Amino acid sequence: MKKSMKTAKLVIISGLMVLLISSCKNTQEIACTEEYRFVTITINGAQLDNFYTIRTSTGDTIRHNQEIGLDSNVYVVLTDSYQQTIQNSVENFIFQGFIADSLVINEPFVIKADQCHIDYVSGKTEINL
């Protein structure tokens, strides 16, 4: 009797363990780096008076201040601050730059984002005016 009781308990405990393990969700932890990414464009030959980026799919206008540490001729197209908005997708953007209220730069960019950061896909990163 004692042996069959031990076997029954072992079967029940084993069954519960299998049930617990199979009921756990398969979650993957993603470890994002601490870096802050941004996509930039360098404009040679003139300095812009105004600039912004337009998200093509929605028409949203995205404005950035000149980032500290960037040269005066380097302009921000998009930063990681927009990552959650486009997470796990690829989006089209247009960088527009103005001098004296005249549009002088109208450059398309393709930028993607994963769970952590934005990433440059395509677009001119340097322009000579």
Kindly report, residue by residue over 58-75, the tens digit of the pLDDT: 999 999 877 666 788 999
**Amino acid at site 112:** K
The pTM of the whole model exceeds 0.85: no
Distance between CA atoms of residues 11 and 18, nearest Å = 11
Is the pLDDT confidence value at 11 over 50? Answer: no
Is the pLDDT confidence value at 54 over 80? Answer: yes
Quote the pLDDT of residue 20: 44
Distance of CA 16 to the CA centre of its chain: 41
